[in-house]
Amino acid sequence: MAAIAATMVKELRDRTGLGMMECKKALVAADGDIEAAIEELRKNSGMKAAKKAGRTAAEGVVAVRIADDNSYAVMVEVNSETDFAARDAGFLAFVGKVADAAFAAKATDMAPIAAALDAEREALVQKIGENITPRRAVLMEGVNVGAYVHSNNKIGALVSMTAGDAELAKDIAMHVTAVNPRVNTRDDMPAEELTKEEEIIKAQPDMAGKPDAIVEKMMVGRINKFLAENSLVEQPFVKNPEQKVGDLAKAAGAEVSAFARLEVGEGIEVEETDFAAEVAAQLQG
């Protein structure tokens, strides 16, 4: 068996864009013949993409596209397995294509966008060695729609307003990414959320033994506080805590109609793995 030099692994990696361990395995199987290794890798590329598709992708980025007249915007989430891959130029270029396609279609469902770009997704999986998943698309329409993506590209928000300018809508979208309100106004809070909060409040130690009238009074005060803290328009504006978001909008003759917020990986269950054991297994393989 031919000795596999590091320079050979590097050359194959440079020519294919595949991971170092996979390149080394291919060279070992091809007895050091780089061209033969490339041929076998090409034959197996489809199989590899299918295999990678079963792995959990909970990292990634959020991207937005907004109309020139601020009448609508689209926000997408595209996932990778690791944050390292999420910073890859090829991955980010693919995210751009997903965002552009979703924007052009005013998409609210990622499925048709993902299907249209699946061949490019599989090619990217082949290149970077990780599962890639276009996950979600959100559309927001209105008189004045603003968008903001946090500097790490992990959290984004869209805000629709009845009036105002693009900068105001963007500022409120930035607030949404930072503070994460549950609802726009207190009237939007789901009844089940209120019931759950009431049960939590009643179970708190300082409620024990108090007359019903006192409990009810304390309950009202704490529920009001809960609603104010979790309703966008009642939250102190992140850039000026002396002013509430609703008052900021009102000063511009506007109201916030709706908002949407995406955070990469939220709701995805990630299986805990022993990283050291995984590396050891790859080296032994």
Same domain, 158 and 63: yes
Indicate the range of 5-9, 93-97, 113-117, 227-231 predicted with least confidence.
Answer: 5-9
Q: What is the mean pLDDT of residues 268-284?
A: 57
Residue 88 in any domain: the answer is yes
For residues 79 and 27, membership in a common domain is answered with no
Segments forming the whole domain that contains residue 144:
59-184+257-263
Q: Which residue has the higher pLDDT, 256 or 282?
A: 256
Confidence of residue 62 (pLDDT cuts 50, 70, 90): very high
Q: Do 150 and 95 share a structural domain? A: yes
Q: Note whether 81 and 87 are within 8 A (CB).
A: no
Q: Is 210 contained in some domain? A: yes
Coil/strand/helix, residue 258: strand
The CATH number of residue 76's host domain is: 3.30.479.20
15 and 39 together in one domain: yes
State the pairing for strand pair 256-263/144-149.
unpaired
Nearest CA among 27, 21, 25, 22 for reference residue 8: 27
Residue closest to 168 by CA, chosen among 258, 74, 251, 261: 251
Model confidence pLDDT, tens digit, residues 72-89: 999 999 999 999 999 999
Same domain, 64 and 32: no
Tell me the whole-structure pTM to 2 decimals. Answer: 0.76
Residue 275 has pLDDT above 50, yes or no: no
Same domain, 156 and 119: yes
Report the helix count and the strand count for the chain, using DSSP H and E: 13, 8
In a domain, residue 54? The reply is no
Find the distance separating the first CA and the last CA of the chain, reported in whole Å. 17
Mean pLDDT of 97-107: 98
User: Is residue 165 domain-resident?
Assistant: yes
Residue 79 and residue 116 in one domain = yes
**What are the tens digits of pLDDT across the range 185-205?**
999 999 999 998 888 888 888
Please give the Cα distance from 40 to 276 (Å, whole number): 29
Count of domains forming the chain: 3
Q: For residues 101 and 161, state if they share a domain.
A: yes
